[in-house]
Amino acid sequence: MSAPRILAVYRLIFGALITVASVQALFAAHGDHAVVLLAGAEIAGALLLCWRRTQWPGAAVLLIVFAAAQVHSAMQGEWPIRFLLYAASALLIVTMDRRLAPGRPSDFGNAQ
């Protein structure tokens, strides 16, 4: 399987998992308006990230949501690292996509 295809599969899996987690958060929100707002924005960002043409705005939305979710968790007395992992994955997707874009020279297989 080619690197662009692997990235495309990872992008879809990541987007789907973020969307599912956001829907779960919506059901568990129990009136917490901050969680509802973050989960809704997270779903929108995850869907935008799934398409190459809208991946950068989607990644930006997700990074803002992950930062806000980290602050919200900290205010609840929690310090989860999962939001850092999610942010790293979103950044990996968009930066690798830029690197693997057609017409751009690749460093893969050219190790000196």
pLDDT at 105: 60
Q: Name the phi and psi angles at 78, rounded to 5.
A: -110, 155
CB 93 within 8 A of CB 85: no
Rounded CA separation 37/64 (Å): 12
Q: Give the tokens for residue 7.
A: 């990235």
Q: ∠ CA 97-63-3 to the nearest 5 degrees?
A: 20
Nearest-Å Rg of the Cα atoms of the chain is: 16
pLDDT at 24: 95
pLDDT tens track of the chain, all 112 residues?
A: 899 999 999 999 999 999 999 999 999 988 888 889 999 999 999 999 999 999 999 999 999 999 998 998 899 899 889 999 999 999 999 999 999 987 766 555 554 4
Give whole-number Cα distances, 15 to 32, 34, 53, in Å: 24, 21, 15
Sign of CA dihedral 38, 44, 49, 50: positive
- Identity of residue 4: P
pLDDT at 29: 85
pTM for the model: 0.85
